[in-house]
Amino acid sequence: MTLLPALPILLPLCGAVFCMLLRTHLAAQKGVALLFSVLVLGASIGLLAQTRDGSVAVMNVGNWAAPYGITLAADMFSCVMLVLSGLLAVSVFIYACFDLDTERIRFGFFPLSLILLMGVNGAFVTGDLFNLYVWFEVLLTASFILLALGGEQPQLEGSIKYVTLNLLSSALFLAGIGILYGMAGTLNMAELAHVVQQGDRGGLVTMVAVMFMMAFGIKAGMFPLYFWLPASYPTPPAAVTALFSGLLTKVGAYSMIRVFTLIFITDPDFLHVLILTGAGLTMVSGVLAAAAQYEMRKILAVHIVSQIGYVIMGLGLFTPLALTGTIIYLIHIIIVKTNLFLVAGAIRRIKGTYDLHELGGLYKERPGLSVLFIISAMSLAGVPPLSGFFAKFTLILAGLNRGAWVIVAVALGVSLLTLYSMVKIWTYVFWKPAPEPLPDRITASGGKWLAFLSPMIAFTLLAVGLGIFAGPVFDYAQTAADQLMNSDAYIQAVLGGG
């Protein structure tokens, strides 16, 4: 037994504790937060390397053998998500060091973000449903405070909607856990998979599955449960929104993928078709809502909904190829979407606004920033040879193989509308001449500016790299998807001693 699966949880906790001890030393807090996020990333990469061959890293907390104790189990899919969350934390922390106001840092942005990271990583590695609930609460509580931090009126109003719906989703999740425990007598995911697939319990399993779908659907932002998202995500500063968009909805999607590939696979004709329908409606409603917006940050935030549709589409199709597509899409979307939020935040930092009508002429003024934006935007829309193209291509190929023509048509149409939204931002912010010239609020040049831009440059290179090296990425995602589809290895690894 090794400690490695627990490190992505323990390291952020240590970091948060140190940050809280250094409450008044803001510069030291920045350093500690950066150091620990790099350590988390390192531990996640170590875990990724360990599970590369398709093994599952299992750790029984306190040496209580599964299914009696709490099990941490990291398979390839978990590890990929861990690495992405670590990467995201590092880059958002670099960004926040420059952009976030001192007031928010003084009130604990860094310790809260580290706690959020701990909750997210915990959700990625846990092998126990109740433990998953606890990690959800950890990350939710941290996110509640991060969202309200600063106390501006839109933030508070957005927080109320966010808090209410997420608490309702937690209550549903908890109720589902209770019924599942009464039915199966265990909450260890591997044992649950085993028990649920054995006996014929008829509609009860499906009913519990729908409760889980609702609970995770609210957290992931799935149609028709996403209304808290456009109300709350665009309200906090760009650093917080980038962190949320990359981590929170993705945890919901991850959990949904986990339980609907491991436990609730008894009734795919109903459940996965329901998910697929939800996916299609999610894509369409998200992209249409985004098309109506004229504020950069809002367009991007509402677009998260439509991206979640693509992620869930792969789960709904429920074939190895479709899940491969889902995993590639998750990698792609976390990198690209975060980058778009960071670039939007950088524009706001120079010009002081997100409004498409007020901005303009940035292509002339800031060609470098424009390149960073356009590469990510085109990748989001799915233009080859960038990362989004291969993710969408895999998903659509999987749809065609299954003969699911409707969802393929919807996915392609939504892609086109995504392109419309991105081109809208491009034309308004970068191409059109500024209606009245906005003076730069800061001197945006020199080494410090370059350091500020470094996470965006890294993400842009990653988006290009994912497209160029699509082969190895595809192979990895395919192995991870096979592991998800054939859960026997996971069950064996957890229950067969650790």
Least spacing, CB of residue 294 vs another protein, in Å: 9
Please tell me the distance from the alpha carbon of residue 170 to that of residue 219, in angstroms, as a whole number: 9
Separation of CA 260 from chain center:
18
**Residues 298-337: x/- map of binding to another protein (CB under 8 A)?**
x---------------------------------------
Q: Which residues pair with 72 in a beta bridge?
A: 59, 126
Residues 6+ apart with CB under 8 A from 178: none
Please tell me the distance from the alpha carbon of residue 372 to that of residue 498, in angstroms, as a whole number: 45
User: Which residue, 130 or 431, has its beta carbon nearer to another protein?
Assistant: 130
C-alpha to C-alpha distances, 341 to 429, 453, 494, nearest whole angstrom = 14, 12, 38
Asked if 150 is part of the footprint of another protein (rule: CB under 8 A), the reply reads no
Please tell me the distance from the alpha carbon of residue 121 to that of residue 70, in angstroms, as a whole number: 15
User: Which residue, 169 or 249, has its beta carbon nearer to another protein?
Assistant: 169
User: Which residue, 263 or 398, has its beta carbon nearer to another protein?
Assistant: 263
Phi, psi of 150 (to 5 degrees): 115, -35
Asked if 61 is part of the footprint of another protein (rule: CB under 8 A), the reply reads no
Asked if 145 is part of the footprint of another protein (rule: CB under 8 A), the reply reads yes
Q: Which of 10, 35, 99, 181 binds another protein (CB under 8 A)?
A: 181
Binding segment toward another protein, per CB under 8 A, in 9-17, 114-122, 181-189, 409-417: 181-189
Nearest to 300 by CA among 330, 341, 331: 341
Binding segment toward another protein, per CB under 8 A, in 3-11, 128-136, 257-265, 450-458: 128-136
Least spacing, CB of residue 233 vs another protein, in Å: 10
User: Which residue, 244 or 363, has its beta carbon nearer to another protein?
Assistant: 244
Asked if 179 is part of the footprint of another protein (rule: CB under 8 A), the reply reads yes
DSSP string, 23-54: TT-HHHHHHHHHHHHHHHHHHHHHHHHHTTTS
Asked if 13 is part of the footprint of another protein (rule: CB under 8 A), the reply reads no
Residues 6+ apart with CB under 8 A from 354: 295, 296, 297, 298, 344, 347, 348
Asked if 424 is part of the footprint of another protein (rule: CB under 8 A), the reply reads no
Least spacing, CB of residue 309 vs another protein, in Å: 22
Asked if 199 is part of the footprint of another protein (rule: CB under 8 A), the reply reads no
Please tell me the distance from the alpha carbon of residue 148 to that of residue 150, in angstroms, as a whole number: 6
Binding segment toward another protein, per CB under 8 A, in 13-21, 40-48, 168-176, 436-444: 168-176
Least spacing, CB of residue 51 vs another protein, in Å: 29
Query: By three-state DSSP, how is residue 329 classified?
Result: helix
Least spacing, CB of residue 70 vs another protein, in Å: 12
Tokens of 204: 């009860």
Whether the Cβ atoms of residue 243 and residue 235 lie closer than 8 Å to each other: no
How many helices and strands (H and E) does the chain possess? Answer: 21, 2
Q: Show contacts with another protein in window 207-246 (CB under 8 A).
A: 230-232, 234-235
The binding site for another protein (CB under 8 A) comprises 130, 133-134, 137, 140-141, 144-145, 148, 151, 153-154, 156-161, 163-164, 167-168, 170-172, 174-175, 177-179, 181-183, 230-232, 234-235, 293, 298
